[in-house]
Amino acid sequence: MPHTKCRCCDSLLHQTFVDLGVSPLANSFITTEQLNKMEPFYPLHAYVCDRCFLVQLGEFESPDQLFNHYLYFSSYSSSWLLHAEQFTEMAVERFQLNDDSQVIEIASNDGYLLQYFQQRNIRTLGIEPAKNVAKIAAAKGIPTRTDFFGESLAKQLVREGYQGDLIVANNVLAHVPQLHDFIAGLKALLQPDGVITIEFPHLLHLIKDKQFDTIYHEHFSYFSLHTVQSLLARHDLKVVDVEQLNTHGGSLRLFVRHHEHRKPIHINVAKVIQQEQASGLDDLTTYVQFAGRVKQMKVDILTFLVEAATMHKKIVGYGAPAKGNTLLNYCGIGPHFLPYTVDKNPYKQHLYLPGSRIPIKEPDEIRRTKPDYVVILAWNLKKEIMDECSFIRDWGGKFVVFVPEVEVI
């Protein structure tokens, strides 16, 4: 991405964070009819801004192309539904929400979260650009606007009488190429006394736990609290509190208000900034060293697979997440090592993973074929998957995770 400007501070980008070669779009699953057709691959080269430390990819495909028909449905993860329900309980109590309140979620997916606010008779509005996903939310009775969010849509919604007492933006910020347009939209749509909650995987954990597989084309940016604070400040918004979450390998939940709001800033904000500084997130050297650690992971992963294959062990995958496709394509892993993977999402079953062309089957296939190892590609759901597939112990099967280290469980 030479001579390209940082999407946060406009500085020229020239420092590599990690170069993962070329890879297909991580959610561009392959049908049987497409198996003999060419598949587009794009550079997966992440840069870091040496001024604001935003880690970012170039924009090779527009959001319209990436999210027009989306196969990620939040409701197929029981742990994620629990996370949504617990968030709802917290928000209703903390912000005293009632039937006069308006909750707006950006990238509301299939209504996995807003359904819990509706059960409490709180007015909701979802904004979801993927038509197939929005259709499922609408079928649940959740008002959903099928569009990409930005300043123009926000101002249109205000003209229609919408303003958020609570605006929720969970795991969407990374998917936004035009960050300033998105944040300006949040600003415009927020009630004077309202609050925005923003959740995103924390860059600190991406680096510390070598979560390179969370880098893929649908994620344009990777954030620290420091960087997001700077971004919000340019739009007269401020972080008043922050929580550290276990989701997605370690995330942050920010509580954001208008700059002029009198809410004091919680000490949690300073604590997380101190943690980032202690981990070297304000030192370019930390970012430069990341690529070498990822190369060693590739060696370790392939060593395990080769040794297991030499011993005639049967290895399969669990999950068809975007992160898994980054890992498989970077390491050159195909059906010769993983003859199949499984996924609970019926919309992914009977398709093939992009690039690697590994077939996706129903979870019952594991019980039928009795593999020696089940590689958990969706490692962020490790506990959920291990609980659901504990039956592999009956024939001596073991679980394997590759991130942050090769571990046999």
Strand order in the sheet with 15-23: 15-23, 42-48, 55-56, 221-222
263 pLDDT band, cuts 50/70/90, is: confident
Do 301-408 and 74-287 fall under one CATH topology? Answer: yes
Give the separation between CA 126 and CA 118, rounded to whole angstroms.
Answer: 12
Cα dihedral 282/286/290/293 (nearest 10): -150
75 pLDDT band, cuts 50/70/90, is: low
Residue 250 is encoded by which pair of tokens? 């370690």
What pLDDT, on a 0 to 100 scale, did the predictor assign at position 91?
Answer: 98
Give the separation between CA 99 and CA 66, rounded to whole angstroms.
Answer: 36
Average pLDDT of the chain to the nearest whole number: 94
Residue 69 has pLDDT above 60, yes or no: no
The pLDDT tens digits of the residues spanning 276-302 come to 999 999 999 999 999 999 999 999 999
Give the separation between CA 136 and CA 150, rounded to whole angstroms.
Answer: 23
What pLDDT, on a 0 to 100 scale, did the predictor assign at position 119?
Answer: 96
Give the separation between CA 238 and CA 266, rounded to whole angstroms.
Answer: 11
The fold adopted by the segment(s) 74-287 is: Rossmann fold (3.40.50)
Three-class SS state of 189: helix
Q: How far is CA 78 from each of CA 134, 142, 209, rounded to the nearest angstrom? A: 20, 20, 24
| Domain 301-408, CATH class in plain words | alpha beta
**Mean pLDDT within 27-51:** 95
Strand order in the sheet with 190-201: 144-145, 123-127, 102-106, 164-170, 190-201, 251-258, 237-245
Cα dihedral 154/156/161/162 (nearest 10): -20
Domain range annotation of the chain: 74-287, 301-408
Question: pTM for the whole thing?
Answer: 0.93
What pLDDT, on a 0 to 100 scale, did the predictor assign at position 80?
Answer: 87
The pLDDT tens digits of the residues spanning 301-310 come to 999 999 999 9
